[in-house]
């Protein structure tokens, strides 16, 4: 079995007591095959050369590098989070196209390639993660790397017209074609990829899942990411989760909980969620005093202006709805700007009658799957899910909503709160079966199997 090399912007911390599903799945694959995890360790350097630190974590070698402060600003805050994140989430209005950002992005991708290359062995299989590293395979190939290189995009692949607003879109897509395998979250992402390749890059489909552009050939397929559904369900039995459940029962007595759990990101549709909840209370007064929205908005990328703006917009909407509808012993929205443990999140999901997952755009959305995993199968809550989340393609038995439409989203929350037990059980059984089968291990194995089937670059025809 080939050794697995995982590359991501950040490396998961082995000391993390509550790693997410992705870190668990990748670590498991790395431990099984033996492997190397390479990424930025979180340290910045000034003038000196970025240092590589290498440590061992059972069968896994962890190699972390430093970034120059200037590169970090232009690469991470600049091109990653001021260009690629907003554009790929359909927010051209929030993008800042400064050429300096792209230079930094290329420098960091080149630095990663230069530092990774000497660590590679001949039959390694390399799996690169996410939008921070689109240029990595091209940089590695330029240095002579011939191992198989796969790429998984965790965020949505944007429509042609949106992507082509990025001044460097041609170079980016050319770089993407240097990967042997490109994995996307949803069929819609694949359609967007295909329409770019066919219409903009003058490419063609050579055979199923294989695309050829200017002499480059890559395979592109859909691999929807999953969670470890059994592990998340097991968290609901931990003391921490049960503490949350009893706190919720005491604090809310007969009230029904509607729960939202998100990083406080503008892609997650948090202001729109408050508009929908307000609409629900206005048109369905029977839910006043009886339903409460508990919203975790965990801090994220707080140094960026767009994130400060979404936070103040969201907090002002929470204040207004509580002021307008709150009573001495009931508030419609309880908003918490903190990071909870995963066990606490599982307990919160388990206590909820409704899970409200309404991003405006999302590659997949793991919270939707975690909510399903955490339910009591004999009395499950109902998932209200945005049809603009990649998860909607798999989770058709959820109540699918258009989050821009407050009125119809409110109607779906009302429907969820009133849904008879038999219907809730029927929907939940189907959803649970799907997230248990198509879990994070299934995702990981399918991707690695497909990558293993790709011909190594050395056996392929010349690229240009």
Give the residues lining the site for ligand GDG (CB under 6 A). 18, 20, 22, 154-155, 225, 261, 263, 296, 298, 339-342, 345, 362-367, 370
> With respect to ligand GDG, which residue has the nearer C-beta, 24 or 119?
24
Annotated catalytic residues are 154, 362
CA 137 to chain centre: 21
Phi and psi for 401 in degrees, rounded to 5? -130, 160
Determine how many CB atoms are found less than 10 A away from the CB of residue 56. 9
> With respect to ligand GDG, which residue has the nearer C-beta, 9 or 33?
9
CB of 345 to ligand GDG, least distance (A): 5
CB of 54 to ligand GDG, least distance (A): 27
Structure tokens at 326: 């709150």
Identify the sign of the CA torsion 160, 166, 168, 172. Answer: negative
Q: Are the CB atoms for 25 and 441 separated by under 8 Å?
A: yes
321 closest CA partner among 286, 264, 284, 277? 277
With a CB cutoff of 8 Å and minimum separation 6, the contacts of 23 are 12, 16
Determine how many CB atoms are found less than 10 A away from the CB of residue 144. 8
Order of strands across the sheet that contains 354-357? 333-336, 291-298, 256-263, 354-357, 382-386, 399-401
CB of 323 to ligand GDG, least distance (A): 26
Phi and psi for 253 in degrees, rounded to 5? 35, -110
CB of 398 to ligand GDG, least distance (A): 15
CB of 68 to ligand GDG, least distance (A): 26
> With respect to ligand GDG, which residue has the nearer C-beta, 18 or 120?
18
């Amino acid at each position: 079995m080939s050794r697995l090399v995982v590359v991501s912007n950040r490396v998961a911390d082995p000391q993390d007591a509550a790693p997410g599903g992705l870190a668990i799945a990748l670590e498991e694959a790395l431990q099984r095959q033996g492997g190397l995890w390479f990424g930025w360790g979180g340290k910045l350097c000034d003038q000196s050369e970025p240092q590589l630190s290498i440590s061992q974590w059972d069968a896994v070698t962890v190699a972390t590098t430093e970034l120059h402060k200037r590169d970090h600003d232009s690469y991470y805050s600049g091109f990653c989070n001021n260009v690629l994140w907003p554009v790929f989430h359909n927010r051209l209005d929030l993008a800042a196209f400064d050429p300096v950002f792209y230079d930094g992005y290329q420098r960091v991708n080149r630095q990663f390639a230069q530092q990774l290359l000497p660590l590679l062995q001949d039959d390694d299989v390399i799996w690169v993660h996410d939008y921070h590293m689109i240029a990595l395979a091209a940089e590695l190939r330029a240095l002579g790397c011939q191992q198989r290189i796969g790429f998984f995009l965790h965020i949505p692949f944007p429509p042609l017209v949106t992507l082509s607003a990025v001044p460097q879109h041609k170079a980016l897509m050319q770089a993407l074609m240097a990967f042997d395998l490109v994995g996307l979250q949803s069929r819609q992402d694949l359609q967007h990829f295909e329409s770019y390749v066919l219409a903009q890059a003058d490419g063609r489909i050579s055979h199923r899942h294989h695309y050829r552009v200017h002499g480059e050939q890559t395979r592109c397929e859909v691999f929807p990411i999953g969670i470890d559904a059994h592990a998340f369900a097991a968290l609901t039995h931990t003391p921490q989760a049960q503490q949350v459940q009893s706190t919720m029962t005491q604090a809310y007595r007969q009230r029904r909980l509607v729960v939202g759990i998100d990083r406080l990101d503008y892609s997650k549709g948090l202001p729109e969620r408050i508009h929908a909840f307000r609409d629900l209370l206005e048109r369905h007064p029977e839910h006043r005093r009886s339903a409460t929205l508990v919203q975790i908005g965990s801090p994220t990328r707080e140094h960026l202006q767009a994130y400060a703006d979404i936070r103040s917009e969201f907090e002002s909407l929470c204040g207004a709805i509580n002021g307008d509808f709150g009573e001495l012993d009931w508030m419609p929205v309880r908003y918490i700007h903190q990071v909870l443990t995963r066990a606490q999140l599982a307990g919160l999901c388990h206590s909820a009658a409704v899970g409200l997952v309404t991003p405006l755009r999302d590659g997949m959305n793991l919270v939707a799957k975690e909510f399903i995993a955490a339910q009591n199968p004999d009395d499950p809550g109902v998932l209200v899910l945005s049809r603009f989340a990649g998860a909607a393609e798999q989770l058709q038995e959820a109540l699918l909503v258009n989050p821009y439409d407050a009125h119809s989203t409110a109607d779906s929350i009302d429907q969820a709160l009133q849904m008879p037990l038999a219907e809730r059980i029927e929907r939940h059984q189907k959803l649970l079966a799907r997230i248990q089968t198509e879990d994070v291990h299934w995702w990981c194995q399918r991707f690695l199997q497909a990558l293993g089937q790709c011909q190594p670059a050395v056996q392929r025809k010349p690229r240009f």
